[in-house]
Amino acid sequence: MEVQLYTESKKAQWDEFVQNSKEASFFHLTGWKRVVERTFGYPSYYLLAEHHGHLQGILPLFVMRTLSFGKALISLPLAAYGGPYARDKETEALLVEEAKRLTQREGIDYLELRNIDLKYPDLPTKDLYVTFQQELYEDPEKNLELIPRKTRRMIRQGEKHQLQAELGRDHLREFYHIYAHSVRNLGTPVFPFRLFTSLMEEFPEMCKILVVKHQGQIVSGVMTFFYKDQVIPYYGGALKEAFSLSVNNFMYWELMKYGSQQGYKVFDFGRSKKGSGSFEFKKHWGMEPRSLHYQYYLNRVAQMPDINPLNPKYQGMISLWKKLPLSITKVIGPRIVKYIP
């Protein structure tokens, strides 16, 4: 078995391997690599294991400098899911060992593997995040019945307010304005606009935007990935003044309904931090949270990084950020978020 670095000559082989697997995610595709490189310029180390010319395993990695925790080798930045995928445990272990050696060789402070399952009992583990997933049925009404009564009532309120949903590849700038507005109100730096343009360019068939209009004005939007049998709403937001219209519940229901009508089988509501507002919102959809196990190899640090907005030491900065004008957060935010893993 030979572990080597990815080259562009391996692109088709890598992506075919990912698409034919059950465990590898949308984020393991080489398109994610190009988006992250174009947007932030992080150096990448995409490891692959081959046996007699046949691909047996992959481990995509990026090096990034963080604000408070030094250099990190992460699989994968910006992604809910990462880590290695291989045909067998021996190959997977080989890839992880190579990542550890890379961490040591390059003087990197720690390695972070964003695994779904707990894979390596010997590595320090965080379960700060959970993911929510729901099986989709062909009949939208059956999906609606699975949603708790209170949330169904909120969806109907949105319908009574005559909200209208529109799905496509238009309205990127309007979506970005709303997204920036939404994350500012959460006290979070916004990603640069070029991240979203890169996603649209790199995934012309898989990446779409659903917007919700009220009286002709766009009041919410969600950028969504359609991958294999999955609907993955990933970046979303709504104008604060539209909350009374039940716009968020209406928006995600319209996306779920579209997915079921188009034959998708899984609605992946994405990751949320335990105890956060988005965690509570998703729980009200009746989905059971599933813990994500982010695991670490600590090379030059003694403890796992604690980058949690619920941490009291960040509360002052979050409160200040919420008060900044939106125009300023659009300029400063992208310069800061580059250093937040």
pLDDT in tens, 108-117: 999 999 999 9
Q: What digits encode the pLDDT tens for the residues 273-318?
A: 998 889 999 999 999 999 999 999 999 999 998 876 666 767 888 8
Angstrom distance (rounded) from CA 73 to CA 94? 17
Angle at 133 between CA 15 and CA 75, to 5 degrees: 40
- What gap in Å lies between CA 93 and CA 106, rounded to an integer? 20
134 pLDDT higher than 90:
yes
Say what percent of the chain tops pLDDT 70.
99
Q: How far, in Å, CA of 282 to CA of 275, rounded?
A: 11
Average pLDDT over residues 250-258: 98
DSSP β-ladder status, 125-126 and 293-298: antiparallel
CA-based max dimension of the chain: 62
CA distance 49 to 58: 6
* Predicted local distance difference test score (pLDDT) of residue 290: 95
List pLDDT tens digits, range 10-35.
999 999 999 999 899 999 999 999 99
Mean pLDDT, rounded, of the chain: 95
Residue 72 contacts residue 341 (beta carbons within 8 Å): yes
**2-126+293-301+309-337 fold:** Aminopeptidase (3.40.630)
pLDDT value of position 307:
73
* Residue labelled with tokens 């970046």: 235
Tokens of 190: 């916004």
Residue 178 has pLDDT above 90, yes or no: yes
Domain boundaries, the chain: 2-126+293-301+309-337, 131-291
pLDDT tens-digit readout, 33-68:
999 999 999 999 999 999 998 999 999 999 999 988
Residue of 167 and 317 predicted with greater confidence: 167
Pick the closest to residue 33 from 47, 54, 52 (CA basis): 47
Tell me what pLDDT residue 284 has: 94
- Supply the DSSP string of 41-110, one letter for each residue: ---EEEEEEEETTEEEEEEEEEEEE-SSS-EEEEE-TT-S--S-EESSHHHHHHHHHHHHHHHHHTT-SE
Please enumerate in sequence order all residues whose Cβ is within 8 A of that of 102, keeping only pairs 6 or more positions apart, or say none. Answer: 45, 47, 61, 73, 108
Same fold, 2-126+293-301+309-337 and 131-291: yes
Tell me what pLDDT residue 120 has: 95
Q: Is residue 180 classed as helix, strand or coil in its secondary structure? A: helix
Extended beta strands in the chain, E state: 2-5, 44-51, 54-65, 71-75, 85-86, 110-115, 125-126, 129-135, 164-168, 207-214, 217-227, 230-238, 266-273, 289-291, 293-298
Residue 63 near residue 42, CB atoms below 8 Å: yes
For residue 69, the model assigns a pLDDT of: 86
Contact, 178 vs 214, CB < 8 A? no
Strand order in the sheet with 230-238: 164-168, 207-214, 217-227, 230-238, 266-273, 129-135, 289-291
Q: What is the pLDDT of residue 310?
A: 66
> What pLDDT is stored for residue 309 in this prediction?
67
Is pLDDT at 80 greater than 90 in this prediction? yes
CATH topology of domain 131-291: Aminopeptidase (3.40.630)
Is the pLDDT at 271 greater than 90, yes or no?
yes
Averaged pLDDT for residues 155-178:
97
Sequence length of the chain is 341
**Residue 1's pLDDT band (cuts 50, 70, 90):** confident
